[in-house]
């Protein structure tokens, strides 16, 4: 028996439409879940990188403070008034050999002329510092300064400059 005037869907089309409409909320929820997971993961990654940068910064600050206090101890080497810079040179050479990460200790005047370098015998280290700009900044700001990184025979080296002496 057929009902006249009514256009209907076949059973197959109706079941297909019903299954599509049933899966649509699952598809939308799944897409939203994947997006939210991506946003959360990105926030976690950003937080992790921020924490890592903070930890590295703290470690570098600690290492720099340690080096600066070591250089300050060298500045108070006994016997410098009577015998000049040779006691400071000997103490600096001993300290540079004890520190694995130190290439050498250099002492220069405010004009950049080298007084000694622990990788050369005392009295034979003439010349000028390799990065006069950071030395000038040291004496201008009166604060420890990191020089530019230079590639040399020992690898990449960056100089930490700190004023030492009676006034620094």
The token duo for 151 is 């590639």
Name which of 112, 113, 154 is nearest 132 in CA terms.
Answer: 112
pLDDT digits (tens, 9 = 90+) for 45-99: 999 999 999 999 999 899 888 888 888 777 777 766 667 788 888 888 888 888 8
Burial class from Cβ neighbours inside 10 Å (0-12, 13-18, 19+) for residue 6 reads: exposed
User: What is the spatial distance between Cα 71 and Cα 51, in angstroms, rounded to a whole number?
Assistant: 30
CA 8 to chain centre: 71
Q: What is the mean pLDDT of residues 38-50?
A: 97
| pLDDT of 1 higher than 50 | no
| pLDDT of 168 higher than 50 | no
| Residue 128, phi then psi, degrees to nearest 5 | -125, 165
pLDDT digits (tens, 9 = 90+) for 7-16: 678 888 889 9
pTM: 0.60
pLDDT digits (tens, 9 = 90+) for 155-167: 666 677 776 654 4
Residues in contact with 159: Cβ distance below 8 Å, sequence separation at least 6, in sequence order:
106, 129, 130, 131, 134, 146, 147, 150
> For 79, left (φ over 0), alpha (ψ -120 to 50), or beta?
left
Better-scored residue on pLDDT, 1 or 22? 22
**SS3 state of residue 48:** helix
**What does DSSP assign to residue 81?**
H
pLDDT digits (tens, 9 = 90+) for 121-152: 888 877 777 778 888 888 888 777 777 776 76
**SS3 state of residue 53:** helix
- Is residue 133 within 8 A of residue 144, CB to CB? The reply is no
- Distance linking the first and last C-alpha atoms of the chain: 108
Between 4-8, 26-30, 158-162, the lowest mean confidence (pLDDT) is in: 4-8
CA 78 to chain centre: 36
């Amino acid at each position: 028996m057929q009902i006249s005037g009514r256009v209907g869907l076949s059973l197959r089309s109706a079941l297909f439409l019903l299954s599509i409409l049933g899966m649509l909320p699952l598809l939308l929820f799944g897409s939203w879940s994947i997006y939210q997971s991506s946003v959360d993961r990105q926030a976690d990654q950003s937080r992790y990188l921020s924490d890592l940068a903070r930890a590295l910064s703290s470690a570098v600050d600690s290492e720099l403070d340690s080096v600066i206090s070591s250089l300050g101890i060298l500045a108070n080497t006994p016997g410098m008034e009577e015998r000049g810079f040779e006691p400071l040179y000997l103490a600096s050479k001993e300290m540079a050999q004890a520190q694995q990460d130190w290439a050498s200790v250099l002492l220069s005047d405010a004009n950049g002329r080298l007084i000694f370098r622990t990788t050369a015998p005392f009295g034979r280290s003439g010349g000028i510092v390799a990065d006069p700009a950071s030395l000038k900044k040291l004496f201008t700001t009166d604060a420890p300064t990191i020089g530019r990184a230079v590639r040399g025979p020992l690898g990449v080296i960056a100089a930490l400059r700190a004023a030492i002496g009676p006034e620094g």
